[in-house]
């Protein structure tokens, strides 16, 4: 049943936020980062990025990385109205719309927002196909000159909805894991073939990190460099960012770029 009343949407968003926080508080949440400087909680001035992860795991970053100067791109569809309120309650900026139309209001808002805020997008949302990156986020990264940070999330044997994305609900007192990859630099002024090349590379990386996070959550093992994944808002003085060796993706017309 769809909710049409603004007051009911706001109430549902507030209650859903409280439920999310309480539910996530029962979980053992841990993460690893290929580059700790990519943590949005550090909020290094002048360094803005686009963060991408699959739609089915939106509950983890929604709960753990609010109030860190991040703007979410959410669909204008009514199904996202409650999620919109939840994101705002959790301390995210919100832009409603799509990255597909270059002349869209959403794109203009994102260009304006990118000057002062990180951007996060579920690149397979809002309607799928599941775990397939749309071209829109790649075009946006190329146009704005913002690196992409791919992210993988996983729960230990979650319950899943019978939806297009098989949305994941964590079991109480289970494990949640996150693996954030290194920056992927997308060259400017890419043609159609270039956009498709980087779309495939970003998709491959998000899938790889997601499978790694899911396997880690199910195994219950430890990882070198793992950290508690808390809501704490860190600042540059809290720790010295540690940078992992970067990998690279090749494009014949663009040379070698960090991925």
For residue range 12-66, list pLDDT tens digits in order. 889 999 999 999 999 999 999 999 999 998 877 778 999 999 999 999 999 999 9
Check residue 244 and give its pLDDT.
41
Angle between helices 135-144 and 105-113 (to 10 degrees): 50
CA distances from 121 to 27, 28, 56, 212, 238 (A): 24, 25, 12, 20, 27
Please report which helix (H) or strand (E) contains residue 60, including its range. Answer: helix 59-64
pLDDT digits (tens, 9 = 90+) for 200-218: 999 999 999 999 999 999 9
pLDDT digits (tens, 9 = 90+) for 88-142: 999 999 998 865 544 477 888 888 999 899 999 999 977 789 999 999 999 999 9
Whether pLDDT at 240 is above 50: no
Two structure tokens written together for 4: 């049409």
Global pTM?
Answer: 0.86
pLDDT level of residue 77 (50, 70, 90 thresholds): confident
Looking at residue 68, what DSSP letter applies?
A: S
pLDDT digits (tens, 9 = 90+) for 132-177: 999 999 999 999 999 999 999 999 999 999 999 999 999 999 999 9
| Residue 58, C-beta contacts closer than 8 angstroms, at least 6 positions apart | 83, 122
Please report which helix (H) or strand (E) contains residue 71, including its range. Answer: strand 70-74
Helix, strand, coil in percent for the chain, rounding step 5: 35, 20, 45
């Amino acid at each position: 049943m769809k909710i049409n009343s603004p007051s009911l949407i706001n109430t549902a968003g507030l209650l859903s936020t409280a439920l999310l926080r309480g539910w996530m508080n029962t979980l053992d949440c841990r993460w690893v980062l290929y580059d700790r400087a990519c943590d949005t909680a550090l909020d290094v001035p002048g360094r803005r990025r686009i963060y991408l992860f699959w739609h089915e795991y939106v509950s983890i970053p929604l709960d753990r990385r609010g109030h860190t100067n991040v703007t979410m791109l959410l669909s204008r569809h009514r199904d996202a109205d409650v999620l919109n309120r939840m994101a705002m309650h959790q301390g995210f900026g919100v832009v409603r719309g799509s990255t597909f139309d270059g002349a869209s209001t959403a794109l203009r808002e994102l260009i304006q927002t990118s000057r002062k805020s990180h951007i996060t997008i579920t690149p397979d949302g809002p309607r799928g196909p599941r775990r397939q990156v749309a071209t829109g986020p790649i075009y946006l990264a190329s146009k704005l000159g913002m690196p992409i940070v791919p992210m993988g999330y996983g729960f230990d044997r979650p319950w899943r909805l019978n939806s297009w994305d098989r949305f994941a609900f964590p079991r109480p007192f289970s494990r949640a894991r996150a693996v954030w990859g290194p920056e992927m630099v997308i060259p400017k002024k890419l043609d159609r073939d270039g956009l498709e090349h980087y779309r495939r590379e970003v998709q491959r990386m998000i899938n790889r990190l997601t499978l790694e996070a899911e396997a880690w959550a199910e195994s219950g093992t430890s990882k070198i460099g793992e950290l508690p994944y808390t809501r704490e808002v860190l600042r540059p003085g809290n720790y010295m960012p540690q940078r992992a060796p970067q990998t690279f993706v090749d494009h014949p017309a663009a040379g070698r770029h960090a991925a």
